[in-house]
Each structure stands twice: as C-alpha cells, then as structure tokens.
Amino acid sequence: MANLSSISSHIPSTQPQWVKRFAKLGLAAKGVVYCLVGILAFMAAFEIGGSSEQNVDKQGVFRFILDQPFGQILLALVGVGLVCYALWRLTQALLDNEHKGTDAKGIGRRIGYAFSGLVYGSLAYGCLRMVLGSRGNQGGGNSRQTLVREALQKPFGQWLVGGIGLCIIGIGLYQIYRALSGKYLKNIQTSSIKTELKAMIIRSGKIGYVARGIVWGLIGYLFIKAAREAKASEAGGSSTAFAFLEKASYGSYLLGAVALGLFCYGIFMFVRARYEVINTNS
C-alpha cells in the first residue's frame, strides 16, 4: 500500500490548471477594484481632492484607472482579470468543482456562483468597453434605476421590486454571517500565512465582509424604499448607498468606516488569491 501511495504521488496531475490561474487572477483583479472603491469612498467621505460619493462605484473606479498614466493598459489588465473571475465562477456553477452536489442547498450555492459570474462578466464587459474608447455615460446606479422604473410599470411591480430588495438584504446578511461565523476562512490555508501577519489578515477579512454586507443591505433597503414610494430614483448601486449613508448623522464618519472596510475586503481578495485552495476537479 505504501508503494502504491508513493507511485500515485508521482503521477502528473490532470487537473485543469487554467481554472486555478483564472481564479487567482480574478481574485487579484477584484482586490484592485475593491481597494480603489474603498480609497475613493474614503476621499468622498471627507471631501479629499474634490471627490464625490455620487461617482464612487465600480464604473467610477474604471474611469479613475483610465485617467492614470498608462491607464488604458492598467484598465485592460483589470478587465482581463474580471473576465477570469467570471469564468471561474461560471465553472464552479456548471462543472461543480466545489462538489456542492445536486440537492437543494448545493443547487442554491451553484446558482449563487452563476449569478456572481454573470455580474462580474457584465462588469468586465463595461471595463473593456472603456478600454476600447467608450467612457460609459450611464453608471450602474442609473441602469438599476431604469430597470426598477420598468419593473414598477408592470403588474405587481412594487411587490417585485420589494422582493428584489429583500433578496439583496439577504445577500448582505449572509456576508455578515460569513464574517462573524468565520466561514470566510473556510478555504484559506491560514497555516501558510506568516504568524506575525495572520491576526491582522484574518481581522481585515472579517471587517471587509461586514462592510460589504452593510453596503448590500443599504442597496436592498433603497430598493424597498423605491418599491414603497413607487419612485425608481430611490434605487441605485453602491454610490447611491454611499450618498444615503453620508446624509445620516455623523455620515462622513460612517461612510469613512465603511470605506475602510471595503479597502480591507480588497486586501483580503489578494490574500485569497495567494492562499485559497482552488478546487479544479469536476
């Protein structure tokens, strides 16, 4: 038996290594985007450099990258990374290389992977369009408002928009649950992280997932508000959520705290790219 184990350990792996490469590139690109979202949101919170929370979303981040020296090349790299992330998520959904199975819970998780893949595929498309010369006149918030406006005109449209809002809040609560339960560390090889950095990295991930959950929750609340008031202008994306947050008491400090949390989330994406175990067997 020992000899068989020794022989099998020398058999070359037939795992599709491109899945692992795509996952790591995608997570790194996602880290870049969230770090910049956090930085721009923090600048907007305290009006540094004339920044406004109205433009702090992923499209705003793409425009920011494009305006930098060699911005077209940098943005193209981010776009390719986001394509890789989308393909990895779709692979998880279709090939089930995370072994979630075909029961109700497994199908639910795989649908979540597919949804994530489609969302980031759409982001990658918008990113690469900017690289090719389209500045993207309409932001993510406006496109959501257009969808909500069309939905509100349908029969039971308010209920539909309200239901979408509840689903978005559910996603936010799940992000917070992952943070507080420690499930966000499930596939991370924490034993490989240097001891002096481990506590800080684990804390940054927890803070990041909580901040992301708060943003999802705010977006969901704004959808419900749009449904209740039958006003599509109340709905939106992260920039709308940031604007709503800043209008609250001590809003600049609240937005600044969430911004730092999103920056932490971006940093943790780099940690995932380095230390996460990527399953490639279908």
Mean pLDDT in the chain?
87
Judge contact between 148 and 223, C-beta under 8 A. Answer: yes
pLDDT at position 233 is 86
Q: What is the pTM of this model?
A: 0.87
Residues of the chain with pLDDT > 70, as a percent, come to: 89
How far is 52 from 276, CA to CA, in rounded Å?
A: 35
Residue with tokens 């901040």: 211
pLDDT tens-digit series, residues 178-204: 999 999 998 898 888 888 888 898 999
Residue with tokens 């911004």: 259
pLDDT at 27 over 70: yes
Please state the rounded mean pLDDT for residues 40-60: 79
Pick from 52, 64, 61, 40: nearest CA to 246: 52
- Name 188's bridge partners: 276
Residues in contact with 96: Cβ distance below 8 Å, sequence separation at least 6, in sequence order: 106, 110, 282
The alpha helices in the chain, defined as continuous H runs, are 2-9, 17-45, 58-66, 71-95, 104-131, 140-152, 157-181, 195-229, 238-246, 251-275
pLDDT at position 72 is 94
CA 244 to chain centre: 20
Band the pLDDT of 246: cuts 50, 70, 90. confident
Q: How many beta carbons lie within 10 A of that of residue 49, not counting itself?
A: 8
Judge contact between 116 and 110, C-beta under 8 A. Answer: no
Residues in contact with 190: Cβ distance below 8 Å, sequence separation at least 6, in sequence order: 198, 202, 275
How far is 257 from 279, CA to CA, in rounded Å?
A: 34
Band the pLDDT of 135: cuts 50, 70, 90. low
